Each structure stands twice: as structure tokens, then as C-alpha cells.
Structure 1
């Protein structure tokens, strides 16, 4: 516990002492070395004309090691101000009585002070002594540009030192915590993508002041989306939840204290979601215009490409534009499912195919087969001219070499027969609109149609073979039934091929006791029946 307290105390002391940032001062002052007391007073409003310097007196012999720096004076944890410190070493002389330091900022009148550290130089014989002079009583603002001029009194013509200085800006963590002009508050957020919400919390805000929060789209300025909240200074939990529509890379959270000209802080939770800009592609079917306007400023190139079966999108010639904020438009575009828009940034590339659902597909063609002949017909939802090319594509090759091309005019919703003749095996049809600036080349191949063209021969032959098989099966069944019945008639009798004489059968029958009908004799059954009667 003691160690923890010691750590906190050491941190506070470190922060207040300025060791982690700018040097702290308790109050501004003017200091002179060599035990001399410095006095300051406002400079003359109307300065007397300059005099010619004495012989041997020049700027380098008077001013040595002039330096400019910034220090911080604090009256509370968040009530600190910046001061410009001017430090120089002077070679004392009987020829001048003091210094004039003027600090000028753009748009503001110069602030000049007179420093007199040696009112009795002559009587004490201190001429030639080098004295260090330091002044830090000029308050400046963060990032302020100042011009500093140091002159001698008496004022000698050409005897001055001039320099410029830029005060530290609010990027410094020290200034962000302690200088009111730099305190913006610290924003943290939690993204809830399922609910499309941003939970925002504020810390380190300016004490005793309310705080503004909003969502905005960042461009040259951050334009509000309408989502806004005011966090009261007395509220114990300083957080709010904002709904959002889309996770755009320029959608930012902006916060600032409720004071005049307060600095603002912005955090952009979706700054890496560049792919979200790819939505908003529009197509006008009447004008045949494809357009896209970025919802956020982005440095990218946008072009058109045709997607192949393997997923690779091949760029169309002369179809690329650079974009930052302006709307991108492509005129005379053929709305084919394979025609896509490609977006390329410095690090990534994305592709969107706005016609993939084929709702805007202008061209359709059908293939029918009849008695060995293939009929290919084209139809279009618009009146247009098309280039028709026949090409040969061999197995295992991705190239299709066109050997014949002709132009076809197609009326709206009227099918046109392409009158293709000859062998179509390994042959493909390539179709492209000619009256558009950007069009996809449609390829349709006939590999499967040659074998299907033999259907008008194969089907009748198959039917004949089927009939023969059915008739054969029927004859086989009839023959089997006939043979079975024949065997039933001759059941219990020896085969005619037995070697025993026929009269042996009659003798055997006569030897049986009882009526003859109980055991009919072998041979002719009908004859036995007649004898019995």
C-alpha cells in the first residue's frame, strides 16, 4: 500500500514539475546574471529615430546565443498557460542603457518591453562585462507563430536581432491534459454490429463544463449526420449510445467542450472499412449509364472489367478513372451479368457486379436441335447491333480463335435466326454489342450439342430394339408354358423312348385287383375310358 501511494505521489510530482513535458514556472519574471537587478517597463509607443552606432559596435559584438523556448505556468490541473522565454547574452557597453524586446503575432499589435539591468554601468565601471538576460512574461497560445525582435537602447540603426518561433501544438500530451485550449476530452467506443450501435464514453473532459457529442461524416469538415447528444458536467456516467446506418470509413465520433472556440476530437471506428464504399452503384437503363459516387472521400481508381468463369475479372480497355470525391460515370454500358466494376486502392482491390442477377440483361439467345440441325436464335430487350463470331475451342485450351465474324441487327423482343451451318463440334459463339462503349463478350459453346444431334437416329433404333426384345420375351414365355403343359399330360407314364414292350403294360394292369377305373392303364386315356364303359 505504501509503495502504491509513493508511486502516485511521484507521478503527480513528476507531472506538476514538468519533467514529463514543458518546464513549469510559478510566476513570470525578468532575470539578469552577474547580480544585476532587471527592471521592465512598457516600451515607447513612438520610438525616437535610430542613431548611427559608435565605431567597433555591431550586432555580433553585442548579442550572443539568443534562444527562444516555451514554459508553462499553472494555476490548477487544467488551468495552465504557455509563456515565451527569451534568453540572450549581452556584452555591456557604455554606449547603450538597456534592451527592447518586441514580440509580434499575426493580426495582433506588437508587445514590447524595455529591460534595464545596468542603470549605473558607467559609475561602476562594468563596461565589457557579459550579462545573461532572460524574460518569460509574454503569454502565447498553442501553435502560435511569433516574431521576436531584440534591440539596444539607445536605438542604433541596424543594431538588432530578429527571429521567429512556433509554439508547441496541442498534439503534445502535456498540453492536452493541462492547457484549456488543448483539452478535448478522450473518447472511447464499443461497436455493436448486430444492433448497429456505437456506445461512446468520455473521459478527461474540461472540468466544470458540459460536453458535446455527435456522429459526422469526415471530409474537409465533419458534416453531422443528425445523431447528437449533450453530456452534462454533473452526470456521473458520461456515455451515450448512437445508432448508425452503415459502417463507413469516414463515419466519425466528434466531441468538444461547451466553450467558445473549443478544440474538437474525432475518432473514426470504421476507418479501415473501405469496402463499404462499394455500395451505391446505379444504372439508368434508358440512358445506359453506370455511375458510382463515393459516400466518403477516397483515393482510388475505378474501372470496368469482365468476369471469367474462373473468377478473374479482365479489365476492359480505356475503362478506368481516378476518383477522390467526384461522381464516376460510364456512359453507353451494356448491362450484362459478367460486366463488373473494379475498385483499386493503394493496398487492395474489390469487384462488384451490379448486373449479376440478370435483371438488366439486354441479350438472350436460345439453342434448339432438330434432325441433326442446330438452330441458334438471338433476342434482345432493346434494338441493337451485335457482332457474331464463330471460334474453335479445343479441349484443355482457354483460347477461342475466331475464324468468322458478321454483324446482326436485332429488333426489340424479336428473335433472329443466326443460320449457323456445318459441324459445330468444339465450336463457340461469341456475341458483343456494337452500339455501346463498354460491353461484355458473351461466349456460348456447342460441345454437348453434337452427340445430342443423333437423337433423331438413336431413338427410332432404340425403339426397334426394344420391340424385338419384348417380342422375344413373349415367345419365350409362351414356349415355356406349352412345354410345362405337355409335361403335365405325360406325368406318371414312361417315356415313349423306353425299351420295354407295350403289352407288358397291359398285363400289369390286368393283374391289379379291383375295378379297372381305379388305376387307368398306360397309354391312351380316352381308349381306357371306352373299355371301362
Structure 2
């Protein structure tokens, strides 16, 4: 059914644009279908785009024409026109034409069937193009109805030998995009450029259609629109029905027309994600039948290479190319090949049925998948080798079931080795491109991994050495919640924020509240309501609001201050801006921010970057003053003597500096845009 709909749309489109004829045709003034023997193959049956003057019924008209099928020399043929009175067609379902070439006894037949038997008072007008015949042969054509109602017509036609047409020579002038035609001394000649289709050489579209009278001994320059295989030069004398001569110089010259061939083609995209089907219809100047296969483009840019997908040849009918069970994606494209040239055409719709992003959580990759259609997705780690990234077992799969509401799916993958990338693809279809995502835990970012491992190691050391000191009086640090706030000004800052939050949660058991971990809730209720709700919870539980500062925070704080002074409201959707408004209100009410603590990483910030208004807050420099920060989160200062402060601080610095020396590129933020 889907294929029928696409082919129907393709047929209407091709009729509308005057597409090239690639096989025999039957024109009728009613809906019809045609069958024939092997010699004629199966003709196409359609309504005439430009119907000529009707014949007076009953009548049969025969005339000579030229049949030029692809990859075959042109040959003469007999065109048949019929006009049958409606009064004699009561109960008639179809017609049969019988052909006989008398000299060779070569015979053939054609049947034309009416699709609908609705009453119609109009005469039947039918034209068949056309029965191949040899020059100089007599062709007999007879007609009878199906079923037989006694109506029979017979005519014969002599296929006369073709007289030679006028002589001419030509020169291709590519820099002028024109062909110069020279006429030798003698009578004047009419010349034109045309597109040779199956039966006729059709005129070029305006403004390139020109039919020029050239006197003997002169020449004319004829411009063309595109250099295509069916571009021909036709010459005739000014007399009516004079013999014509024709030359198609580029038919066997693919090196000449290759660069322009695809510019002359219009691609009409009928692909649909909901049906997992890729479909394109071609409108061409010439009767072309290129081969179409799938390929995956690395990036959306047209210059990006497109890698072929094996065994993905599309079926073609009526210049409509269809392939089922496909993950329709803007980077999964058709590669059309004709002769020695090819062209990549991608779906014209840029939206996708699913999207994926990746975030780094310690030594795990978390894939966030959203899909608007029921689908199954697979993912696997891969390693770059020779420009390719081949998936390695095991494969991880998640499924969005039929009838479920569109939403998020999640996959967790371990980072087994440095330099890992991940491939993600739809696994419930035959053809799908694999999207490549490489988060910044690759070999180029040892700094982040070293830093994460260092912070983790330090936390373990601190836990082992200061277990009794850090243990709160009431038994557990986890009972005091920590609301962690920051400014998203750099990827490196985000990476450090996530690392510290994860270590506080996993290593120390803190109840850490972080907007990155509650993105769904923030998006649902809004930044300001979410922040005030979290602040209220932390206050009720005697917890701490930890504000992680950076140079970017200072710039954002200044912008926020300017907005407050000028009474221009800030962005209520920004958690950092909402946090500043909340802190400002608390400090104005009680004179200091009770329950607020400020910390900064020495690599990204200095004490001068902390605004004067915030300096009354307890401030800690990380990593040097990490034990003091942990004591503040606990609710009391740490016993530095029992924590072996100097030894821990030295170990902390050595680990962090070693990680920093390995590589300076910033760590990956929790959400990374999808890439290929």
C-alpha cells in the first residue's frame, strides 16, 4: 500500500513536469491499463498531457515515428491513433490491436483495458506509441473489441525509407555554454537543440528553446541549459515535413556531461520516519535510470564523505526509488550512480525521529535517547583504527515500545579503556547509520581523567585518615543535604563540579542536590521554583548551600548586579541568576548568608574574583582547603591534627598537579550535543 501511494505520487509528478519517456506508451481519454506480448514489453498507460485534435469516430490513423529507447539506436515505428463511438462500446471492457509486418511475418499484439465501467457518452480516443518496423516494410494493423461486439477495423501502412536530411557540422563551446552549428553552402536550414526522448526530440525549456533559420555558408550559436546525454542537434529544411537530420554528440561522452548531469535532475523527497521508508522521485531531462544505494554521511555538510552501506540498493519504478526498513535520518542518504559519475542526495527534512546525547559520570558514559517513534537502539564502545571506529562487544540495547509516550531512554556504558568512543544506532531496522560520539575521556583528555581519579583518591585517603574526625556527632554526614550551585561558564568548571559532587555523594554519602541530576524537574517547574524548593529543604535539614565560584561566575555576577541596579529583570530560567537573587535576599534580610558556603578551584579562580559583597561568606580554596570545606559541610571545623593536614594537603597537590600536567583540555560537561 505504501509503495502504491509513493508510486502514484511519482506518476502525478512526472506527468506534471513532462518527464522523459523510457518505454512504450498508451494514451487514452479514460483510466486504462495495457498489456502486450514480449516484443512490445509492457507499455505504460496514461492520460495525454497535451491532447491533440480528436479523430472523428470510428477511425484508425497510422503514421511513421521514431522510437529511441535507452542504449539502443533509433528505429522507425508505426504510431496508431483510434477513435471509437461510445454507442458501439456498450459492455466493451477493452481493445486488442494486432500487428503484422508483412515482409518478415513478424507479429505482435497489444491490449488496452478500461479500469472502470462507468457509463460514458464520449468516444474512446486511444494512441499507441509505437510498433517497431523496418524501413520499406508494409505493416498491417487490425482492431477488435473485448468482448467482441462486431466492431473491427484494419489499416496498413508503408514505412517509407528515410530520406537524408540536411548536412551540418557543430562545435561545442563549453566556456559559452553553447553549441555552434555550421551549415555548408547551399539552401537555408532550420536548426535547433532538443532533448531526445523515446519517440520525439522535445524542445528545450524557455529561454533556451530556439529554432533558427541559417543560410548556407553561415553558422549560429545555440545556448543550452545543461549538458546532458540526450542533448541533440536537429536540422531540417524550411519545407513542411522535410527530412530531418539529427546528431546527439554527448550520448556516449560521459566525461563531458558528468559534472552537469545531476544539476539537471530534480529530487523529490517522499521519505517518512513513521513508516521507516526512504523514497525519492526523479524528474529528469533525459530518460535516465541511475542506480541508487544508501550511504552514511559523517557530517551534515555536503563536502563530508558518505560511506556506502552494503546491500542497500533501492528498487526503481517510474523513476521512483524506494527502500523499506530504513532509519530515516538527514545523514542517511541515497547515492545515485550513472555511468562514471555519482551524486549524493540526502532527505530534505532536517528533523529526526530520535536524538542522542552523552554525558560522563565518573568512569561511565550515560546515553540519553529521545524517540518520537517506537524503536530499539543499540550502543557499543569502539576504538579508532585506520580512520574507522568499529563496534566492540558487548552491545547494549534499549527499546521504546509501541504505544508508549515519547520520552527519554537511558543507557549506561562503562569506559573500559582510554580513548573510547561510542556508536549508537537503531537496531530494529535493516538499514541505519551509526552515530559516533566521542566524549572527552579520550586520549586527548588525560587531564580530566587524572583529575577525577585524583579527587577520588584524595577522598578515599581523607576518609581513611580522618574517619573519626569527619563522622558527625549524629552518626552520618549524609543526613545533612548539600545544595551545590555553580555558573556554567566553562566545560572545565562543569567537569570539576560534577567530579566533586559525585565524590561527595558516592564517597562520603552526602545528600547532594545538583540541577544536572534533576534536569527533568528543573525543566518541569522552572529554575526559580526549583531553587527555592531545594533551598527550603536544605534549610529545614540544617544543610549547606555550596556555591562553587570561578572567573566566569564573577562576570555573570556583575551582569546580574547591573540588572538589579537598572531594575531590568534577569533570566528567571537561569539557576545561577536565581541563586544570586536568593542569596541577595537572605543577606539583605539577616546581614549574612546563613547556611551558605563559597569555594573555588585554584586553577580557575583567585580570591580577587570573589565579589566584595560575597566575601563575608565562609570561603575555601580547593584543593588546599578541602578538609576545611568538608568540616563546614559537616557543621563543625575539622580536627586538623588528627587529619594529618600537611600530609593530606601534599598528597592532594601532587595528585592534582600530575593530572594537570598530563593534558590541559577541559573535561566534558554532563550534556554533550549529539555528533557524528
Q: Is TM more than 0.5 here?
A: no
- TM-score, length-scaled by structure 2: 0.36
Specify which structure has the bigger relative contact order, considering alpha-carbon pairs within 8 angstroms and separated by 6 or more residues: 2
Between structures 1 and 2, the one with greater helix share: 2
